[in-house]
Amino acid sequence: MTLKSLTLNYLLVVLFAGLVLLPACNHTSKEEQQGVTNVPTPDEVGVLQMPDTIAAVSAPFAMPKFSKPTFPADTVVVQLVENQSNRAIIQSAIDQTSKQGGGVVVIPNGTWKTGRIELKSNVNLHFEEKAILLFSGEIEDYLPVVFTRVEGVEVFSLGACIYANNAHNIALTGKGQLVGPAEGSVRERILTSEVIDNVIDPDTPVAERIVDGKKQDWIFPPMFISPINCSQVYIEGISLTQTAFWNIVPVYCNQVIIRGVTVNSVGIPRGDGIDIESSKNVLIEYCDLSSGDDCFTMKAGRGKDGMRVNRPTENVVVRFCMAREGHGGITVGSETAGTIRNLYVHDCVFEDTGVGIRFKTRRPRGGGGENLYYERIRMHLRYTAIKWDMLGSSAHVGELANRLPARPVNELTPHYKNIHIKDVVIENATHLLKVIGIPEAPVENLRLENVQAHCSNFIQAADLKGAHFLNISMEGNDSVVILQDVSRTTFQNVAFHTANAPVALFVEGDMSDSIRVTGCTNLPDTLFVKAIR
């Protein structure tokens, strides 16, 4: 929508006079920055800062105590063979160690080839510092198919390079490097021409959803590391590169710790860094991700199949992490059917990512997100600092990507509510906030406070209800704030520093109501009660 077209429709334009209730306030730099303290710098987070011990977790919701796992003292250093697959050798060592009560299976220094590996209970698969494990690029090395979840839909397919199912007390540790599938049939036959909704019927029994590359001329690529239905999962220190799909993906897991992990999947489509999928009680800390898609991501199932399973992602803490290149630093969605709730992200840096804090879903995805907390975040971004996209593209959801008309609310209507973002430094971004919502389920109860931002544009929001912007200092070239169907929203002590002062507030939409501006810089005090129809 162009500014020219906006001027034909907007119901309220605030410049200087007319609706001024009180004189605008000017604040000193100290007052503008009040409360924005202890935001980490890049050299204070990530892998190099990881301590040996796991500090106690403090979150706005109850969390369990996290500690490093213990394993029986038995250690097996696997005798591997160069230039041939060691899949059977590694798997045999894991199976035997688990059968005997558990222990540590060590991948020694050297470069070794393998196919899919399956972790078993009470086994720590440990990589020596100069160990390099190369995964096969051929489909047959990931067969037979296993039960898994692909993009939020349950199937039987290739699974993951490192897979586990119904295992307890499992670990991947050490400073070795894992390299994803080589060139071959896996990469040549990845499904790219269709979305999963069009090839997997949610009414088909899961046991019949077999994708093995034999019945189809395509496959779902294996994830890199994906335990499913597991408890007490521990991943520390390893480096991952060259994945074919998402990197670390716990599914239906409980008590998960991921720390000190390095991921590089830049240039790989759908190369997410860490995806938490319908899992609970998760701690992610001191990781360093450079991704071909989103970096840290929370998911909970997709559409009708995800609603059938109806398992949330909940009680997740992400702290002291670095997100480098990637579509989003921390993302919720777009698979949201089981709902993502109780997420706390704090003391993190997003350096050169696209969007910083990202929320995604689609009309037919269901669920949504609630009780999401973000504190002490530093961002240097290519695009928007905080963004909701609840519509998606027509390629994925057809006409449902059109914002209007509002659709009837049903079980697949997603919602986002109760989002708290505070103590944020945005060194560079195109926008502070963009909300692309849906009118039948507006984003509810957003609180954004204690922010210092340097951004080209300020705020553009559609379908937002109950937002509070407090103690924010924005510096940029923009001179407009655009609100469409926004209600019960306040701007308090917000400083708009712009060369194009004064700032204009544009409000449109029949649902716009109760918008208050008070004590701001370059935007007069205003009370907008109801749109004129």
Per-domain residue ranges of the chain: 1-45+347-398+410-533
Which residues have a Cβ under 8 Å from the Cβ of 126 and sit 6 or more positions away? 104, 105, 106, 107, 171, 172, 173, 174
For position 20, what pLDDT does the model report?
A: 34
Q: What percentage of the chain exceeds 90 in pLDDT?
A: 88
d(CA 279, CA 330): 17
For position 149, what pLDDT does the model report?
A: 98
Nearest Cα to 220, choosing from 172, 161, 157, 266?
157
For position 35, what pLDDT does the model report?
A: 62
For position 256, what pLDDT does the model report?
A: 98
Cα distance between the two ends of the chain:
21
Helices (H), 152-239: 185-188
> Is the distance from CB of 477 to CB of 458 less than 8 angstroms?
no
d(CA 198, CA 193): 10
Q: Choose between 529 and 85: higher pLDDT.
A: 85
Query: Residue 243 pLDDT > 90, yes or no?
Result: yes
> Is the distance from CB of 170 to CB of 220 less than 8 angstroms?
no
Pairing of strands 177-179, 153-157: unpaired
The pTM of this model reads 0.94
Q: What is the mean pLDDT of residues 258-277?
A: 97
> Is the distance from CB of 294 to CB of 359 less than 8 angstroms?
no
Give the pLDDT band of residue 146 (cuts 50, 70, 90): very high
> Is the distance from CB of 526 to CB of 513 less than 8 angstroms?
no
Report long-range pairs for 143-149 (Cβ below 8 Å, ≥24 apart).
143/212, 144/212, 145/210, 145/211, 145/212, 146/118, 147/206, 147/228, 148/223, 148/226, 148/228, 148/251, 149/228, 149/251, 149/252, 149/277, 149/278, 149/301
Task: Determine which helix (DSSP H) or strand (DSSP E) holds 351, and give its type and residue range.
Answer: strand 340-353
**Buried-exposed string 435-452: b where 16+ CB fall within 10 A, e elsewhere:** bbbbbebbbbbbebbbbb
Q: What is the mean pLDDT of residues 150-165?
A: 98
For position 502, what pLDDT does the model report?
A: 84
Q: Which phi and psi (to 5°) does residue 307 adopt?
A: -70, -35
Query: Residue 12 pLDDT > 90, yes or no?
Result: no
Structure tokens that stand for 249 in this block: 């993906």
Half-sphere exposure of residue 149: CA atoms within 13 angstroms, side-chain side: 28
> Is the distance from CB of 531 to CB of 504 less than 8 angstroms?
no
Structure tokens that stand for 23 in this block: 């004189």
Residues shown for the chain: 533
Structure tokens that stand for 125 in this block: 């698969």
Q: What is the mean pLDDT of residues 168-178?
A: 98
For position 395, what pLDDT does the model report?
A: 83
* DSSP assignment string, 142-156: G-S-EEEEETTEEEE
- pLDDT tens for residues 445-494? 999 999 999 999 999 999 999 999 999 999 998 889 999 999 999 999 99
For position 16, what pLDDT does the model report?
A: 32
Query: Residue 24 pLDDT > 80, yes or no?
Result: no
Q: What is the mean pLDDT of residues 389-399?
A: 91
> Is the distance from CB of 250 to CB of 261 less than 8 angstroms?
no
- pLDDT tens for residues 82-122? 999 999 999 999 999 999 999 999 999 999 999 999 999 99
Give the pLDDT band of residue 3 (cuts 50, 70, 90): very low
The dihedral formed by the CA atoms of 478, 480, 484 and 490, expressed in degrees to the nearest 10: 100
Give the pLDDT band of residue 329 (cuts 50, 70, 90): very high
**Buried-exposed string 37-67: b where 16+ CB fall within 10 A, e elsewhere:** eebbeeeebbbebbeeebeebebeeebeebe
Handedness of CA 406, 411, 414, 420 (dihedral sign): positive
d(CA 68, CA 50): 14
Cα 528 to Cα 244, 364, 469: the distances in Å are 51, 34, 16
Query: Residue 10 pLDDT > 70, yes or no?
Result: no
Structure tokens that stand for 418 in this block: 């109760």
Q: What is the mean pLDDT of residues 38-47?
A: 97
Helices (H), 141-299: 185-188
Query: Residue 199 pLDDT > 60, yes or no?
Result: yes
Query: Residue 32 pLDDT > 90, yes or no?
Result: no
